Every structure is written in C-alpha cells, then in structure tokens.
Copies of this chain bind each other. A is one copy, B any other.
Amino acid sequence: MTAPVRGRRRGRPDTRAAILEAARARFAEAGFTGTTIRAVAGDAGVDPALVHHYFGAKDDLFVAALELPVDPRAVLAEQVVGPVEGAGERLLRALIGVWDDPAVRPALLAMVRRLMEPGGDALFRGGFLPVVLVPLGEALGVDAPERRMQLVASQVIGVIVLRYVVRADAIVAMDADALVAAYAPVLDGFLAGPL
C-alpha cells in the first residue's frame, strides 16, 4: 500500500484536468457556495493546496470551471438564427443537444445554480440577458426582443430546471421529438404571437 507520498507524482497524470472535472461536477451539483475546495480536492485525489496552486482563489476556479467547450453564441448563430418560422423547434433542438452533452452539462448546471444564488439577478441582467437572449432575439428579427425573449426564457428555464436540476421524471423521459412537440408551439407563440 502506498503511504502518502509527498512531492511530485510519477508519470504524467493530468492532475490539472482532474481537478477541473471534479470542480465542474461539484459546482454543478451544489452551486458555488455549496462547493468546498476540500471536496473538489478530495474528488480529484489531491491536496487542497494543489487546487490553489493551479487556479488561484475559489472565484478563479469557478470561472475556469465555467469555461465552456462550446460558445453558446456560436451554437445559436449556427443552429438557431434564421426565419422566425420554426425558430422554436430549432432553439429547442440546439438546447437539448448542448445540455445532453455530458461534457458540457456540468458547466451549464453550475451557471443555472449560480443564477439562483444571491447575486444571480445581476448575472441574469448583466450577462445572460444582454449577451445571449437579446442578441438572439434581434438575430431572429422579432419585434420587442427584450419582452419576447424574456417570455421565451421563462419557458426554457422552467424546462431546464425540471429536466436537469430537479429531474422530474415525466420531463426527463421525453426525448427530443417529444420535447419539441410539447414546447415548440409555446416558444413560437412567444416569439411571434400577439403581445
């Protein structure tokens, strides 16, 4: 049995990546304040000090863990932008594609959890809304993008919470087509219906 070995490890294990992965999982599961550096270090099989060595403070770890393998704006520009007709379905399919990718979901979950913690409103108003939602609305060419995209968000976030945070079985059980059938009409209504 290996006694606790001090000093550098043999071979070239990518410890940094292990820490990042553990941090993503923890942040996704427990949010920012609910995640402890010691727990992350434990999951990665590593001393807490090493976490600080690679990423500085806890805040820095968080933004590092948030670095998405995907740029949401690129995904939206490629898969969603286009005519308003069918925009709801395209949005849903892009959303599901990204969220069901296990490499990306933890980071997204962490962001959603952060949205609910104190200061989350600022994150929404200062980040999510102007950076993602409104530009998307404008790219789709809808009128009153602020209002309509907030309506859209109110449905999308509900789906995300029930499917990925709270894991309500009926919503989890739906595949992409079922989700589109249920929600695309709603989103289309928010995008193009009467206000």
Contact = CB atoms under 8 A, between A and B. Distances in A.
How many copies the complex holds: the figure is 2
A16 interface: no
Given A31-B117, A186-B186, A158 B168 contact: no
Contacts of A120: 165-166
A154 B154 CA distance: 9
Contact of A117 (B34, B118, B162): B34
A98 interface: no
Contacts of A155: 154-155, 158, 186
Nearest to A148: B170
Closest 6 CB pairs of A and B: A158-B158, A150-B170, A154-B158, A116-B116, A124-B166, A147-B170
Interface residues of A, number: 41
Interface string A166-178: 1111110000000
Contacts of A146: 169-170
A185 interface: yes
A148 to B, nearest CB: 9
Contacts of A121: 165-167
A131 interface: no
Contacts of A190: 182
Given A146-B170, A150-B170, A151-B182, 19 more contacts: A31-B117, A34-B117, A115-B161, A116-B161, A121-B165, A121-B166, A124-B166, A124-B168, A125-B168, A150-B168, A150-B169, A151-B171, A154-B161, A154-B168, A155-B186, A157-B157, A157-B158, A157-B162, A158-B158
A30 interface: yes
A155 B129 CA distance: 19
A186 B156 CA distance: 13
Contacts of A158: 153-159, 161
A48 interface: no
